[in-house]
Structures are given as C-alpha cells and as structure tokens.
Amino acid sequence: MTICAVLSQTQKNGRWFFNRRPFFLPKKSYVLILSLHVLFLILSFPSRADDVETAHQISPVVKVDVFLKLKFATPELSIRLIDEFQPKEDIESELWFTWEKKRLQLMADLSHWSDIVAQISSYNDTVFLKHEAWFSLLKARALLKISKPLSVRENLRKLLWSELELTPEQIATARRLIIRSYLAEDKANDAQRAMLRYQQDYGVAGKQWRLLQARVLLATKRYPQAMRLLVNETADELQAFKTLTRLRAGDVSATYVYALAVEKASSNNSDIKNNTRRQYWILAFIAAGVSANKSAEITALEKVLVTGVNDAENDLINISSDLLWEKYMQYAGDLGNSLHLLIGDDDAWFDKASDRFEKDPVAARSLFAMLGLKAATQNKRQVSLEQLFLLMKKLEKQSLLIDRVFLGSKYFQTNRQVPVLVRYQMLDNALARGNIKSAADLFKYLPEPPEGKKRLAWDMRRARVLVFGGQYQQAKLALEKILATQTLNDDWFNRLMQVVFDLQKVDQHAIAIELFALLQEKTPEIELHRELKFWMAESYHSLKKYDRSAHLYLVSAKMILEKQSDPWAQTALYRAAESMMSAGLISDARVLYQHLLKITESKSRKANIRQKLQQLWLLEGKQSISE
C-alpha cells in the first residue's frame, strides 16, 4: 500500500471518515515508513549543494551522510527530519553531535538566534563539555545577533579561561567576537584596546577583519584612518559604511548623504541585496540626525525596521524598535513646544495629532505615540495607540512594522499591554507568516472575535491554533466552550473532530478522550457514536490502558448490527485484538484474529493476520516459560 493510500479519506453517507493508517499497519511502522518516504522525496529534488549525488543514486537509509551535507531550500522540514533520525539515547556519541551540528547550522540559516541560545543552554554538562569550544563560539555569535553583548563576553571568557586546548583559529574567532561585543555596547575605547592587542598577535588580514577594524576606528572618531583602510574596497555592501566614514570626517554634507542613501535604498535594482538596502536606510537615518531633521529620521528608521532583521554584528549602528519610540517622543516634544501645548493637556495634544492625520502623518504618528506611552488615563493611551496603528497601516510593509514596533519593544513587555485592535492585526500577521507560536500566544488572550467575524469560525480557528502552539489546556477550554454554547452542523462537527485528532497526534490523549465523550453527548447518530468509540479506543491504547481500548474497539465494531463485518468493523476488531495482545489476553486475541481470518477477503490482510497468530504462539510460549 502506498503512502497516498495510507493518508486517503473516504466519504460515506455524507460524512468524512479519516483513514489515518491501514488497520494492519502498526503505528511505529507507519511513522517510520512515512518519514523515510518524505526524506526520500526531499532527497529526490535538486539540491543547492554542488557535490550531491543524483537522486536515483541516493539511498536515504544507507547514505545518511548525504543528508548531512545538503543545504536544503526547506530548512524547517530538515530540522524535523533530524528530530526523527537523530539518536535519542546515545547523546554523547559523535553521530549525535553530527546531527546536532547540522540542526544548529540550519537554525542559523533561519536566523533563529534565540532558539540557538536556548538549545545550547539545554544540554547537560557531559554533552556540552565534550564539544564546548564549538558550542560556545556559536552561542556567542547568537547572543551577539540578539544584542546581548555582555553575555557574549561572559560566555567567551569562560571558554578562553578554561583548560581546553583551543586551536589558534578558535581563539582568534573568540577575540573578534569580543571586539564586536564592545562595539555593540558602544564601548569604543574597550573595542580599540582589544583590537590593538588582536592586531599585535595576528596582524591584519582579510576583508572582514579590515571592516571590523574600520568600525572600531569610526567608533573612536579616527575617521581618516578608517577611510584609508577601506579606500580600495569596492564591494556593494561596504559602500554605505565608506560613505558614513566620509560623513563623519566632514568630507561630504549630511544633505548629500541623505539623498544618496535614500536613492540607493529605494532603487529598483534587483541586484542590491536586502541587507545592503538596510544599511543605506540606516545611513539615511544617521544623515537625517546630523541635519537635525527629525521627520526624515523617523521615516528612515521606519524603513530600517521593515528591511532585513536587526544584526548587531553588521549594522552600521545598533537599531531597535525602542529607538523609534524615542524618536517619536523627541519629535512630539519639539512639536508640542512649537504648538505651545501644555504637558498633561492630553486632549489638546490628541486634537493636534488628529489634525495632522492626513496632511502630516509623521507628525501625527509621533504625537499619538507620545500619548500612547505618556497620557494620564488608560483609555487615552489605548485610543492613541490605536490611532498610531491606523496610521501605520497606510505604510509600505505595514504588517512587519506593526509587529516590530509593538512586539519588540521594552514598552510592551507582554501581548496584553498591546491594544486589542492591534493584537487582531498582529494575529493575522503571525498566521500569514506561519508563526504558530506567536499566533497561539496572541489567541490565548483574544477570546472574543473581531467585529465582522462569526463566533463559531473564530472559536474553532482559535482552538486549532492553540493546539498547534502547544497550549493544550487552553485549546481544551475553547473546544468545551464551543460544545457548550454552539449548535454544530455536520461540517462544523467534522472540523471540531479534526482539532481533537490534532490533540491525539501530539499525545494529548486524556484531553482527547474527554472531548470525544462530550461529542457523543452532542449527537444522537449511531454512526457517529460508532466512530467516536473507535477514536476513544485509539487514545486509551496510546495511554497503555489496553483493557479499556479493547472494550471500546469491540463496542465500535458491534454497535450497528447490519455492519458487523464491514471494513470499519474489521478494522475495529483488528485493533481490539492488538490491544488484547498488549494486555496479555492471548486467548481472546486469538479468537478475534481467527474470526477476522474467516471474514477477510484481502489476501494481503489474511497474510498479516496469520503473522499476528504466529506472534501469539511466541507470546504464549514466553508466558508458559515465565509461569
């Protein structure tokens, strides 16, 4: 039987019955075959790796090393396959480390830096110490990417002061990361001292080192030296930095640099990389600041936040959403002074912001932002933030800007501090990007549907996302609420069943059993009761409550008199026999298998049943010896 057949659906009497695997295929075998099948399909597609063998030569079972060398276009799927094939017990083996190294590299490709830090921090001492140098250097880089420079140095000092015999390259890498950490923390003098010591030991070599050295020289206001160091560099990604050194040295005007940076960042040239555009927007922000043009500063900074991602290792300066909030408030303060507004007169500030909603949206955003953080009453703060949100919705890449302004700021430590109207938009953004964890966190505190959305559709969607996000108790409460308050037609009944199946797939069988029981109470249809008994039995079997599962399988098989030999009944009887085998009820299991042998027409199924009977003889012999 093919994988497609295993996953097929059939429709009977207007209802969908979900054949999640054939009755004669054990669950573990099914999972293994499905995983191998998916892996084979992936390996069959063209890879970006140059040294990979052609698809027909690859055996995914034998040549696992080929998988480890691939750079897939589907890194998230690759990580899941690593979960399947990585050794679970022998975590101190070199094979385990080979898989884990690949996992962390894929996570780095996805820029999941926080996850990398958490993953490495989760290892026990034995595992970590065995590969301490590799883990520590990667963790330090990840900490730098997420703007935790102090933690970078703490991590690397432990490594450098340990008794490990580090290679010269490992020591050099650690020292370069320490220099970068000082720059990220705006400790220019410390970075200069560390750079001089490094230069004495290693000299100057390579473009990346020259760029790092130039960054230090720029931070310590040694502009001519920085310019000389990069004078021969022609790479596109370095031009923004070179222009910044000229600006700081007074070689070019801020007005010229701003115009140039905006032109480059906005160019339709597809050859310009996203990160290069980001650096030009940062350059425009810096130039606007030199010109004291706060409106232009804000416009450029908003562009920075939606272009690429924060990268403390490579950005011209440190950028964060908090910086945008600060610029909003600075500009609002200047506007308040020019308009003779009094601190505390929130209504007057709100009126002035509203007047500028269309004619000067940057000023309006700044005034609403200030009120959103500083207004005297909670209501005024919420309304002001909602107005800011509506203005942001008019901007290019508005969904990304909204997320980064509200999710990544110290002013909003939890989702519940964000206005409900904004959270609905953030929820849609998270679902559109497939960020289920963020969506589940948002759904958790959004029990009411937004205006214009139907209650049942909202509640069902909320329940399923909560399951996907790992918030199983919250999902259970949501489903119980649906069953207690809603009347379900066939379509919605089946949708709810799917959510309970999702709970089974993540081993939440106790919750699934409770929900199947509630579903039974909601329907008088005998056909549905038959199906629900079967799925309850599946969960009891997974919980190793084999007596209960065997009983429910038998009830499902025998519930409808005229269908006691149909395919559904045969599957239920077969599963009942499996539960009896697991419970040690050999005689009862044999009776069921012999009965199935008589009524089953398929030759392949008959062969499978005979194998089960042979297994019973082995178990019976084992029992007699133990007795």
DSSP string, 50-117: TTPPPGGG--TTT-HHHHHH---S-HHHHHHHHHHHS-SS-TTSHHHHHHHHHHHHHHHHTT-HHHHH
SS3 of 357, please? coil
Is the model's pLDDT at 332 over the cut of 80?
Answer: yes
For residue 333, give Cα distances in angstroms to 289, 343, 344, 374, 382: 16, 10, 13, 12, 20
What SS3 string covers 564-595? CCCHHHHHHHHHHHHHHHHHCCHHHHHHHHHH
For residue 454, give Cα distances in angstroms to 226, 519, 536: 61, 22, 30
Is the model's pLDDT at 300 over the cut of 90?
Answer: yes
Helix (H) or strand (E) holding 523: none
For 545, residues 6+ apart whose C-beta sits below 8 A from its C-beta are: none
For residue 480, give Cα distances in angstroms to 460, 476, 511: 11, 6, 11
Side-chain half-sphere exposure of 83, counting CA atoms within 13 A: 8
Q: What is the secondary structure of 23-57 as a DSSP string?
A: TTS-HHHHHHHHHHHHHHHHHHS--S-TTPPPGGG
The pLDDT of residue 76 = 66
Q: Is residue 41 part of a domain?
A: yes
The pLDDT of residue 456 = 86
433 vs 332, higher pLDDT: 332
Is the model's pLDDT at 374 over the cut of 50?
Answer: yes
For residues 579-608, average pLDDT = 83
CA Rg value for the chain: 31
Q: Is residue 539 part of a domain?
A: no
Q: Is residue 625 part of a domain?
A: no
Is the model's pLDDT at 188 over the cut of 80?
Answer: yes
SS3 of 17, please? strand
Q: How far is CA 614 from the centre of its chain?
A: 47
Provide the domain limits for residue 5: 1-110
Q: Is residue 60 part of a domain?
A: yes
Q: Which residue, among 279, 321, 318, has the nearest Cα to 298 in the 3D structure?
A: 321
The pLDDT of residue 35 = 47
The pLDDT of residue 37 = 47
Tokens 């290792």 belong to 313
Q: How confident is the model at residue 627 (pLDDT cuts 50, 70, 90)?
A: low
Q: How far is CA 448 from the centre of its chain?
A: 25
Q: Is residue 26 part of a domain?
A: yes
List, for residues 89-137, the tens digit of each pLDDT value.
666 678 778 888 888 888 888 888 888 999 999 888 888 888 889 999 9
For residue 46, give Cα distances in angstroms to 80, 105, 395: 19, 20, 38
Q: How confident is the model at residue 621 (pLDDT cuts 50, 70, 90)?
A: low
The pLDDT of residue 52 = 32
Q: How confident is the model at residue 369 (pLDDT cuts 50, 70, 90)?
A: very high
Q: Using an 8 Å Cβ cutoff, are 523 and 564 in contact?
A: no
For the chain, helix (H) and strand (E) counts, in that order, are: 33, 2
Tokens 């969960």 belong to 539
Q: Using an 8 Å Cβ cutoff, are 1 and 607 in contact?
A: no
List, for residues 383-393, the tens digit of each pLDDT value.
999 999 999 99
pTM above 0.85? Answer: no
Q: How confident is the model at residue 317 (pLDDT cuts 50, 70, 90)?
A: confident
Q: How confident is the model at residue 354 (pLDDT cuts 50, 70, 90)?
A: very high
Compute the 3-state secondary structure of the chain and give helix, strand, coil in percent, each to the nearest 5.
70, 0, 30
List, for residues 462-480, the tens digit of each pLDDT value.
888 888 888 899 999 989 9
For residues 14-29, average pLDDT = 41
List, for residues 257-288, the tens digit of each pLDDT value.
999 999 999 998 888 888 889 999 999 999 99
Q: Is residue 505 part of a domain?
A: no
Among the ranges given (230-234, 361-365, 397-401, 508-512), the one the predictor scored with the smallest mean pLDDT: 230-234
For residue 182, give Cα distances in angstroms to 178, 194, 210, 426, 560: 6, 9, 17, 34, 75
For residues 226-244, average pLDDT = 85
The pLDDT of residue 510 = 94
For residues 486-524, one letter each, b for 16 or more C-beta atoms within 10 angstroms of the residue's C-beta and e for the rest, the string is eebeeeeeebbbebbebbbeeebbebbbbbbebbeeeee
Is the model's pLDDT at 342 over the cut of 70?
Answer: yes
List, for residues 30-82, the tens digit of each pLDDT value.
444 444 444 444 334 333 333 333 333 333 333 345 454 454 456 666 777 77
Number of domains making up the chain = 1
**Max Cα–Cα distance, the chain, nearest Å:** 97
The pLDDT of residue 73 = 52
Is the model's pLDDT at 6 over the cut of 60?
Answer: no
Q: Which residue, among 124, 119, 91, 89, has the nearest Cα to 107 in the 3D structure?
A: 119
The pLDDT of residue 362 = 96
Q: Which residue, among 555, 464, 545, 461, has the nearest Cα to 501 in the 3D structure?
A: 464
Task: Provide the 10 A C-beta neighbour count for residue 46.
Answer: 9
The pLDDT of residue 13 = 37
Q: Using an 8 Å Cβ cutoff, are 529 and 559 in contact?
A: yes
The pLDDT of residue 333 = 95
Q: Is residue 34 part of a domain?
A: yes
Q: Is residue 418 part of a domain?
A: no
